[in-house]
Structure 1
Amino acid sequence: MSGNEEERPERPSEVDGTAHLFSALGKIIKVLRKNAGMSQAELADATHCSEDLVSAIERGVRTPQPDFLIRADPALGADGVLVAAVTDVRAALARARVRHPGWFRDFADAESKAVASHYYEVQAVPGVLQTPAYARSLFEHRRPMLDEATVDQRVADRMSRQLIFDRWPVPTISFVLEAAVLLRPFGGREVHREQLRRILDVAQRRTVELQILPQDREEHPYLDGAFTLLTPKGGREVAYTEIYGHARLITDPDEVRMFSERYGILRSQALTKRESLVWIEKLLGER
């Protein structure tokens, strides 16, 4: 789900600059790559990752992992500049794992370790798919208002959750998004377009299944709101709901089974992955 951990205001804590660090590193990597006369595809080959990942790191959408920085430094002729940032990146990632609001921390911890995660969303793009600009727009417009320090921290916290896409072995990850979620231009036209492209980047991975549920469906198995299903390693599946700021991690097997059945029906009613990608491309005007 969108992971609306902003719904319960807490006392602002000191911002550690994590989001700014990752954004700055992305810009530095882009400049180094261009100065080296390399394309994103060439840097991807040199660092043993995908071109999409390089693009996302340069745009500040994905976190540059320490291993990536270590491989990219000699490839870009950075003379130790990127390697020098590794210690700070590791420290920032460690802090990010424990900064979530207390009431949200159990879910964030379970999400980071789950072997399978399935998200159904009805209002906003799930937090693990959000761009920094999209997340910032949501936090800045919530009421009661959050101060700038808290907004910065919450954006960084949300970006830290996206590390699940870089784990190995890769967890099973799927999404069912109501079409209305991608029709709302939160943050304005450019932020909206960047967000749609981010979703395309993630959805094109073979490790991710993303489906759109069109608005013209005449039947629906669950109209009570968004939910997430998580399966911990060696444990039973659990469900998570968050409505009007009230978070609930559900472990009762019978209740979890109901959410699992609903999710299965939702997937059967949604567009296929390929159809969903085409739907988003058309929304972007790229088809």
Structure 2
Amino acid sequence: MALDDGTSEPETSDSLKAFGEVVKAFRRRARLTQEQFAPLVGYSVPTIASVEQGRRLPSAGFVERAEEVLDAFDAIRGAAKYLSRRKGLASWFRQWAELEKTAISLYTYECRLVPGLLQTEEYARRLFANHLPPFGDDQIEARLTARAERQQLLYERPNTAFSFIVEEHVLVRGEQVAPGQIDHILTLAEQRNIEVQVMPLARAMHGGMDGPIALLETPDNQWFAYSEGQESGHLITDPKVVSTLQMRYARMRSQALSLEESLSLLRQMRGAR
């Protein structure tokens, strides 16, 4: 989940809002609606809206495409140089988040909640809104921005292999929390580099009984793991421990429903809502 530890307030969002106004001004100058602009830059209408409202940190790809499409005289590139990244990641998670940016393989098993990379904005907002101790509105928005920025990995790294194994009860609860969550996962699973498997309730015992597992492989083929608990988390670099977690994840891949069976179950869940 990786929430901020609450030791500092989110940075100002003024630069994000200013950047959004620049993009909006050049989009309107080009006489394009958000709906017309979105396919030209290769991003969704909700993403365009979030960037223009100063709620989302734009990716480097967005900046370049917007600059080219709108012929903005380098104004968009220039505004991007002054963007302030609002804090929204827990201090203990930031090192792992940096490794994720260049990972060639990223594996996640989750038994508590929908993995952050797969969450809809509504699901994430509900999580942050129910955090204890309570977050303020600015803190919630900062965390949503950080979550959305991290999720760009799924779209900007087509050569990274993403694997997710999620407990069935987590997905059932996720759809109850935020209707549309399963639709979102099904859409993501259409990408060639994203695999989603469901660990069924009928599987009483499996390789992940000790808790969530996160694994990644770097471009130089090093493997790392990450473990997170209540208000804590740590990067695991010991090859022996990482090897053990790889063994458990491999076992779970064989114990979970196949990719086809998992997607079929998700469609059934969607139809039952």
TM-score (norm 2): 0.79
Give, as a single letter, the amino acid of the residue that structure 2 aligns with 1:106: Q
Aligned match for 1:192, one of 178, 193, 206:
178
Q: What is the Cα deviation at residue 104 of structure 1? A: 1.8
Q: Report percent identity of matched pairs.
A: 28
Q: What is the Cα deviation at residue 242 of structure 1? A: 0.2
CA RMSD, aligned part only? 3.5
Q: Deviations over 1:163-195 (max 9, x none)?
A: 212334621111001111111147xx5x62222
Structure 1 residues not aligned, in runs of 5+? 75-79
Cα distance in 2, alignment partners of residues 23 and 178 from structure 1? 38
Alpha carbons of 1:280 and 1:247: their partners in 2 closer, same or farther (altered >3 Å)? same
Match of 1:231 in 2: 217
Alpha carbons of 1:84 and 1:240: their partners in 2 closer, same or farther (altered >3 Å)? same
Alpha carbons of 1:91 and 1:193: their partners in 2 closer, same or farther (altered >3 Å)? farther
Match of 1:181 in 2: 170
Paired residues of 2:92 and 2:234 also in contact (CA < 8 A) = no
1:95 aligns with 2:85: yes
Alpha carbons of 1:95 and 1:251: their partners in 2 closer, same or farther (altered >3 Å)? same
Cα distance in 1, alignment partners of residues 225 and 101 from structure 2? 15
Paired residues of 2:93 and 2:234 also in contact (CA < 8 A) = no
Paired residues of 1:19 and 1:156 also in contact (CA < 8 A) = no
Give, as a single letter, the amino acid of the residue that structure 1 aligns with 2:10: S
After TM superposition, list the pairs within 5 Å mapping 1:181-220 onto structure 2.
181-185=170-174, 192-220=178-206
Match of 2:130 in 1: 141
Alpha carbons of 1:99 and 1:144: their partners in 2 closer, same or farther (altered >3 Å)? closer
Paired residue total: 260
| Residue aligned with 1:184, SS | helix
Match of 1:69 in 2: 66
Paired residues of 2:213 and 2:249 also in contact (CA < 8 A) = no
Structure 2 residues not aligned, in runs of 5+? none
Aligned match for 1:12, one of 9, 24, 49:
9
Paired residues of 2:88 and 2:147 also in contact (CA < 8 A) = no
Cα distance in 1, alignment partners of residues 14 and 189 from structure 2? 29
| Residue aligned with 2:44, SS | helix
Match of 1:252 in 2: 238
After TM superposition, list the pairs within 5 Å mapping 1:123-138 onto structure 2.
123-138=112-127
Q: What is the Cα deviation at residue 250 of structure 1? A: 0.6
Cα distance in 1, alignment partners of residues 268 and 135 from structure 2? 35
| Residue aligned with 1:212, SS | strand
Q: What is the Cα deviation at residue 87 of structure 1? A: 4.9
Cα distance in 2, alignment partners of residues 182 and 196 from structure 1? 7
Q: What is the Cα deviation at residue 89 of structure 1? A: 5.5
Alpha carbons of 1:21 and 1:124: their partners in 2 closer, same or farther (altered >3 Å)? farther
| Residue aligned with 1:276, SS | helix
Cα distance in 2, alignment partners of residues 22 and 276 from structure 1? 41
Cα distance in 2, alignment partners of residues 245 and 113 from structure 1? 26
Give, as a single letter, the amino acid of the residue that structure 2 aligns with 1:225: G
| Residue aligned with 1:221, SS | coil
Q: Deviations over 1:223-242 (max 9, x none)?
A: 22212101112142011010
Cα distance in 2, alignment partners of residues 202 and 87 from structure 1? 32
Q: Deviations over 1:26-51 (max 9, x none)?
A: 9x89x8265x6x9xxxx75x55x5xx
Give, as a single letter, the amino acid of the residue that structure 1 aligns with 2:116: G
Cα distance in 2, alignment partners of residues 137 and 22 from structure 1? 27
Q: What is the Cα deviation at residue 269 of structure 1? A: 1.1
Cα distance in 1, alignment partners of residues 127 and 135 from structure 2? 11
Match of 1:32 in 2: 33
Alpha carbons of 1:218 and 1:22: their partners in 2 closer, same or farther (altered >3 Å)? farther
Q: What is the Cα deviation at residue 108 of structure 1? A: 0.9
